[in-house]
Amino acid sequence: MAPSCAYFDRGECRSCSLLALPARERSASKLSRFTRDARAALGDVPISALWEPPRAFGSRTKAKLAVSGSMRNAVIGLPDGASGESASLLDCPLHAPRLNEVLRFVKGAITEFKLAPYHVERRQGELKGIILKCNEDASQVLARFVLRSPEALPRVRRAARALVERLPFVRVVSANIQPLPAALLEGGDEIVLTEERFLWERYGDVLLAFQPQSFSQVTHATAEALYRHVAGVLSGSGARSLLDLFCGVGGFSLTAAGGMEWGLGVELSENAIECARLGAAENGATQLAFESGDVEAFLARYSGKKPDAVVVNPPRRGLSPAIVEGIKALRPGLIAYSSCNPETLLRDLRLFAPAYRVASLAPFDMFPLTEHLEAVATLARTV
């Protein structure tokens, strides 16, 4: 039997486009489309079964929601592309329950602390959105208020104090300033409003640190499986050294650290690199180093030791041809390419030929009940 969601049943939210299908059909739908596209692009490459979290409802540990309406009747949910108004999603069953507890607090705080929701057409109001993240057991929650300007900061500070007092599992609260009248849910400036700056999250035996602006996956169980899969691939290949490109807070390299003599992670975000270094210290991974910089520029100038393996986890746009050539020039024995966009993944994999062949593809269900999936490609050097 398919799980039930009141928002879906009432037609208020259709994000979970596969919700009405039985579980077996949902899995088959995702895997068959990915398999068809992969075989069309790459030929008869081995593809493993779709990894899925044990359950869909309650699995999401991250939520990004827009705020609209008025101070008396605020709406927190998904924005309508045409009007900018939101469909209320205070109790999305995909979310870890404590995220929804925080959302219900925020709805009341909008009235209590006079946080005027932003109106897209009039370009008035201050509170644009709410971004939440919790750790693996929801014992810690990070909350971000997305504001049009610093004008509401004094009121948000009061709301933040009330939030951590009433819901003590909320450890980190920040204000993000996003002044542009554009479809961007967050801006570049972040003001941390609590003494604690970091949320710690356990992935297997590894602790990772996150700050408010740190990228993190939305489904903890799937992310843990993803990290574990890549670590297993590296271990099975006998790799003892690693370049981790677009490393974020270090999830891949820290999970694989036990088998490494040395490793270097590269990421544009200084915020993420600070977290990766904290994670290395916390996990005793002294053989790993992390540096902030543009990956393409890093590869163009890199003259250090050549790694046995390269892990790459780019944004949705995938890799530039220059990055592909830079990786190939290092001649690693193995490349593990993790992607949230199968289309750009399959495009990029063809660019590694003929120097590398795709040894396997492993799909992961990061967004249960939707059409989206992530995939890891393992490439082996042929020459």
Which range scores top for mean pLDDT: 5-14, 16-25, 326-335?
326-335
pLDDT of residue 24: 87
Q: Give the mean pLDDT of 121-129.
A: 91
What is the distance of C-alpha 269 from the center of its chain? Answer: 14
Residue 183 has pLDDT above 90, yes or no: no
Q: Which of 13, 92, 247, 340 is catalytic?
A: 340
Nearest-angstrom CA–CA distance, 317 and 144: 26
Residue 100 has pLDDT above 80, yes or no: yes
Verify whether residue 340 is a known catalytic residue.
yes
The model's confidence at residue 121, banded by pLDDT at 50, 70 and 90, is confident
Q: Give the mean pLDDT of 65-94.
A: 83
Nearest-angstrom CA–CA distance, 75 and 90: 9
As to burial, measured by CB atoms within 10 angstroms (0-12 exposed, 13-18 middle, 19+ buried), residue 76 is: buried
Residues of the chain with CATH 3.40.50.150: 23-55+219-381
CATH 2.40.50.1070 for domain 62-200: yes
The topology under which CATH files domain 23-55+219-381 is: Rossmann fold (3.40.50)
Q: How far is CA 151 from CA 154, 180, 315, in A?
A: 8, 15, 33
Tell me the per-residue pLDDT of 243-259, one tens digit each, with 9 for 90 and over.
Answer: 999 999 999 999 999 99
Tell me the per-residue pLDDT of 259-272, one tens digit each, with 9 for 90 and over.
Answer: 999 999 999 999 99
Residue 232 has pLDDT above 80, yes or no: yes
Residues of the chain with CATH 2.40.50.1070: 62-200
Q: How far is CA 293 from CA 7, 262, 266, 287, in A?
A: 43, 19, 6, 20
Nearest-angstrom CA–CA distance, 306 and 331: 8
CA atoms within 13 A on the CB side of 349: 29
**Smallest Cα–Cα separation from 178: which of 138, 99, 125, 133?**
125
pTM above 0.85, yes or no: yes
